Structure 1
C-alpha cells in the first residue's frame, strides 16, 4: 500500500468547489486502485483567514508544512476583491514558492480534442506548448521599495534579479524536460534588445546551457513577438523557458488559446524534492461564480494529474489524463466556460465515470 500525505488549501472564491472536485477524483482513484491512499489535511489559510488574523498564513506556516511530512501541496486559487492582490499573493503563494524553493513553474498548454479555440482553422495550427517559467526570482524577487510616499517626488523601485545559479537550473530543467518528454525544440524567451543587462545575461546563460544539449534544437524570441507567434503560428512553439513575469503572462495567453482558463493547470516544482511541490489551477478565484456550482474543475483536476506524475504514479496519471481527454472529446458535459450548461458536480462526475469505464 502506498500512502501519500497531501496538504490541501481550498483557499478563495471557487477554490473550495474545485478542490472538493479534485479530492473526489482522488477518492475515486483510491476506490479503483486499492494499493494507493491519499491522506488529505486541510489548511484554512486564505483571504478569510486574513480577515480574521491580519495574515494569509501563520508566521510559522512553512515550519508547520515541513513538520507535516507532506508529499505535495494542492491549492485552490488565491485572491479576494476585498484585499489588495499583492497582499494575498505575497502573503501565501509566493511565500510558499520561495520558501520551498519551487523554482520551476510548469504550465502545459494543449488544445484537447472537443475543445474550441478562438483561433481560426485550428486543425492547421495544433497547440501543444509547455512553459517552463523561472519561479523563484526575476521580476518577482521582491527587491525594491518606496520613498516619500504621497509626495510629488515619490519614488518606487522594483528591481529584477537574475542569479547565475537560478537561471542555469531552470534552463537545465527545460532541456531535460524536452528530452524526457519527446519535445523537439526549446525556445528562449527574452527581451535583450531593450533590457541590456539582465536579459543579455539570461541569453548568454541559455546559450551556455544549450551547448550541453547538442541534440535539442533551440531558437530565441523576443517576448513581444512571442505573443504574436503563439497566436499566428502556435504549431511552431514547443517548450519555451521564460523569466517569472514573461512566463506568467505568456502561459495565460496559452490558456486562452487552448479554450479556457478553466482548463489550465500548473505545477510549482522543487525538482530535487527537498521540499514538497505545489499544484494549482492558474485561473483566478472568480468570486462572481461562488456557490453557483458552475466552475470548471478540470484545471484543478489536471493539476492533480501533474501531481500524480511528479509523485511517480505514472499509471494513475495516465489514466486520469485519459479520463479528462475522454470527457472533453465526447462533449456531453460542458461547463459554462466551454459553452455548455453543466455544473461543477456534473463535470466531476463525468471524469469519475470515465475513470470507472476505463478500469473495467
Structure 2
C-alpha cells in the first residue's frame, strides 16, 4: 500500500465546489486501485481568512505544508481582497518556497469538444507549455516612490538568473525528448527587451546544443501568440518566462474550450518539496454558490498529480473518462451548453472511471 499525504486548499468562489469533485476523484482512485491511499487535510486559507486574520495563511503556513507529498488548490481571489494580496501572499510564496519552478500546462482539445478555431481539429491541438514559475517578470523586486504626488513612479524589476532559466529550459528539452514531434519552441522578445531576453535566448541555444535531435525555434512572443491561432499543429513543447508563459497558456486554454477546462501543475521535479496542482481558472465569484461550475480543470489537475506521483496509467484513465463523458453529451455544465450541476458532471466522470478501469489500471 502506497500512502500519499495531500494538503487541500479549496480557496474562494467556486474553488470549494470544484475541489469537492476533485476529492471525490481521489476516493475513486482509492476504490479502483487498492494499492493507493490518500490522507487529506483541508485548510481554509482564502480571502475570508484574510479578512479575519489580516493574512492569507498563518505565519507558519509554509512549515505546515512542507511535509505533504502534494498540494491541491481550488481557486483564490475575491472582490473583497485585491488580487495582488491574495496571489502574492498565498500562491506565489508556495511556488517559491517549495521550488515549484515548473508550471506545466497541457493545451489539449479533449475529444467531444470543438475548438473555437474553425479549421483546427483534435490532432492539431495537443501540445504543452512549460512556464518558468519562480522568477522572471514576477519578481518581487522594485517599489514605488513619491506616492500620491505628480512625481509618483513605480519600478518593477525582472529577474532572470542563469540557474533559474537553465533548469526550466532543460526540463522543457527533456520533455520534448519524450514526445513524438520532438520539437521545442521558446518564447522571447529580444528585439524589444534588450538584456533579459537575449540572455534567455542564449541559454535556449546552449541547452539546445545538447539535444541535436530536437528541432528548436525561438519566436518573438507576439508572433508566437499568432501561431497559437494560425498554426498550433506545429507546436509540441513551448517554453517561456513567467509572464510570457502565463499569457500564452490563457490563450492556449481559450483555443481548446476555455479556462474552465484547463489544469496546471506547479512542479518541483526533484520532489524535494511538495508540488501543487490547480485549475487555471479563477474563483468566478459571479457563479459561486450556484453549483454550476465546470469541475474538469480540477479533476484534470489530479491527472497531472498522478503522473507526477508515478501513476501515468491513472492519469490517462482520468483524462479518458472526461473525454468519454464529453463524447456521450448526456451530462454537461452550462459553460458547455448543458444544464447539469457541478456534482452531476463530476459523478458522470467518476462513473466513467469505474467503467473504464478494467482496461486502464
Structure 1 distance, partners of 2:50, 2:246, is 25
Partner residue, 2:169:
171
Q: Alpha-carbon deviations, 1:19-54, whole Å to 9, x = none?
A: 000001111111122221111100111111101100
Structure 1 distance, partners of 2:357, 2:160, is 47
Other structure's SS at 1:160 match: coil
Pairing 1:213-292 to 2, within 5 Å after superposition? 213-292=211-290
Partner residue, 2:52:
52
Q: Alpha-carbon deviations, 1:144-191, whole Å to 9, x = none?
A: 000110010011000001000000000000000111233421001000
Contact kept, 8 Å, 1:112 with 1:329, in 2: the verdict is no
Contact kept, 8 Å, 1:125 with 1:234, in 2: the verdict is no
Partner residue, 2:147:
149
Partner residue, 2:335:
337
Q: 1:120 Cα shift?
A: 1.0
Q: 1:337 Cα shift?
A: 1.3
TM-score (norm 2): 0.97
Partner residue, 2:4:
4
> 1:78 and 2:76 equivalent?
yes
Structure 1 pair 174–33 and aligned structure 2 pair: CA distance change class (3 A): same
Other structure's SS at 2:11 match: coil
Query: Any gaps of 5 or more consecutive residues in structure 1?
Result: none
> 1:99 and 2:112 equivalent?
no
Please give the root-mean-square deviation of Cα atoms over the aligned residues, in Å. 1.1
Structure 1 distance, partners of 2:100, 2:173, is 18
Contact kept, 8 Å, 1:125 with 1:233, in 2: the verdict is no
Q: 1:124 Cα shift?
A: 8.7
Query: Any gaps of 5 or more consecutive residues in structure 2?
Result: none
Count of matched residue positions in the alignment of Structure 1 and Structure 2 = 358
Structure 1 pair 123–282 and aligned structure 2 pair: CA distance change class (3 A): closer
Other structure's SS at 1:17 match: helix
Partner residue, 1:65:
65
Partner residue, 1:312:
310
TM-score (norm 1): 0.97
Other structure's SS at 1:140 match: coil
Structure 1 distance, partners of 2:55, 2:212, is 48
